[in-house]
Each structure stands twice: as structure tokens, then as C-alpha cells.
Amino acid sequence: MVKESYTVDTPWGLNARSIQKFVSDGRENQPQPLKVGIFVCPGFLPMDINGTHSVFTIVNAEIHFIWKRKELIEGYSGWPTMPTMTFEECPDDLDVLTVGMIPPEVMEDLEVINFFAEKGKTAKCVIGTCSGSLMLGAAGLLVGKRATSNANVVNMLEDLGAIAVAGSDVVIDGNIYTSGPATGSFDASLLALKDLVGQDLAAMVELAIEYDPRPPFGTGSPELAGPIMTKIAQDMIAPLNRQYSISSQQGYALYQKNTKNT
């Protein structure tokens, strides 16, 4: 690879000198950068974790993409991603642990369940966006807690011991932040940042990224879209949602069995 004069080597590859200096200058004013873990896996949905990455990048946090192995994986769809940290390397003192929509099969993976069951109890803020909330439930983190998800799967949270809250607005219960998809990742991350460092800085970050959603069609929820469009959308994703229901419950059962055996 030819190295351009304006690039610099980083642990993950080449970056631009201007960006590296901007990050370095920002961290000089921070005695201890926030530690942010973003769970990735084959088939993860990038839009559900982009909010966390965007919000915490602005405050120069240490951001780690966490998976079992450091191997190239594909986000859904055509989004090649290289994890930067393994489960074993993940520290216990994460400030934020985030999971977005992931394939249902992953929720039945005992290694993944154990990771969330362990790190979800020690991280200061745990964010579940969209069906990522089901992963938190499968790991036993939502028992007796209020939680939400996207409109198609929110009722499944009750099967995982949670108190389901419809509407997709961010629901905070203890150290758990759950939300609907896409922009919910930004909302939950800004609220978590507020709880970690204060509202003044969180509000400045909201301005820095000019986070001001203005949906062009006004169909971003079943209530807004109406029954006809909602049914069409639900029918399209019904087979996958059935698999989410089965896999999350089976994952939760694995968690319960494993807990009894330890």
C-alpha cells in the first residue's frame, strides 16, 4: 500500500493527520477518556450502532468493536467490519456497552449470552437498540426492568422477564437504556452521555453532530404510517420476527440453565 504524505499509521490502519491531531488534542483535556464497547457480529445492523459511535466519537472516547475474534465480518448488508477487541480483552469497567439489531441465531450463542450477562452488569451504561434489546433480555439483564424495542418485537420482551414499554422512545431503568431502531441509537447514546458527563456537554455534542431528525414522509411509526402500510411492512418481516421470538427465548433459557449450574 502506498502511504500518502497526509496519512499516519494507527493500530487499525492509515488515517489522516488532521483527524488524528484533532482526536489527540481533544484527549489532552480528558484525564480519562470514556471506554465504549460496541458489539458487532456477522449480520449486525450498522444503523443501530452508528448513533453510539457518532456521539462518543465527538467526545474522543476509546471506542472498541467487540466480537469473539478479530476477523473480518459483514454487517447487514455489505458493510465489512474488523472487530478491534475480543471478549477476553474486554475490560470490566466499560462506560458504555451497546448492541443493535443482530441476527436471531446470535441470541442462542452461549458464548455471546455469557459475555453480555457478565459485562452488562459491570458497564455503567448498557444500550440496546431495536432488537438488540432482545439480546440483553436473553442474557438476563432485563428481568423486572422496563424496556422497549421496535414495534414488531417489543411484546417479546415480556417472555424474557421484562416489562415491555411500547412507543420506541428511550426507556431507562437502572444502567439499561433501550430504544427503537435507527435514531433511537442517537437518542439513547446522548442520554447515556448526559448521565456520564453532564447535560451541558451532551447538549454540545447534539449540536456538534447537528442531530435534528426531520423525516420526509412522516411514516416512521405504525401510528404515523397507518394500518395498511403497517400491515404490509409487518408481513414482510414476519418470518424473521418469528425466529427472533424463538431464538431470544431459547437464549434466555440457556442463560437460566447456565446460571443454575454455576
Cα 167–chain centre separation: 18
In this predicted structure, what is the pLDDT of residue 225?
96
Q: Which sign, positive or negative, has the C-alpha torsion 113, 119, 122, 125?
A: negative
Active site residue 90: no
Percentages helix, strand, coil for the chain (3-state, rounded to 5) are 45, 15, 35
pLDDT beyond 60 at 1: no
**pLDDT tens column, 115-136:** 999 999 999 999 999 999 999 9
Report the C-alpha gap between 151 and 219 in whole angstroms: 13
Report the C-alpha gap between 127 and 136 in whole angstroms: 9
Which amino acid belongs to residue 227?
Answer: P
Q: φ and ψ at 19, to 5 degrees?
A: -70, -40
Instruction: Mark residue 135 as left, alpha or beta (left: phi above 0; alpha: psi -120 to 50; beta: remaining).
Output: alpha
**pLDDT tens column, 137-177:** 999 999 999 999 999 999 999 999 999 999 989 999 999 99
Model confidence band, residue 2 (pLDDT cutoffs 50, 70, 90): low
- Average pLDDT of 167-196? 97
Question: Which residue among 41, 90, 125, 130 is the active-site one?
Answer: 130
Largest CA distance in the chain: 58
Report the C-alpha gap between 38 and 43 in whole angstroms: 14
- Grid cell digits, residue 249: 427465548
CA distances to 135, 138, 161, 179 from 216, rounded to whole Å, are: 31, 35, 37, 21
DSSP 208: H
pTM: 0.95
Select from 192, 193, 170, 194 the least CA-distant residue to 180.
170
**pLDDT tens column, 50-105:** 999 999 999 999 999 999 999 999 999 999 999 999 999 999 999 999 999 999 99
CA distances to 29, 71, 74, 210, 252 from 178, rounded to whole Å, are: 31, 28, 24, 22, 18
In this predicted structure, what is the pLDDT of residue 168?
84
- Grid cell digits, residue 30: 480528558
Model confidence band, residue 11 (pLDDT cutoffs 50, 70, 90): confident
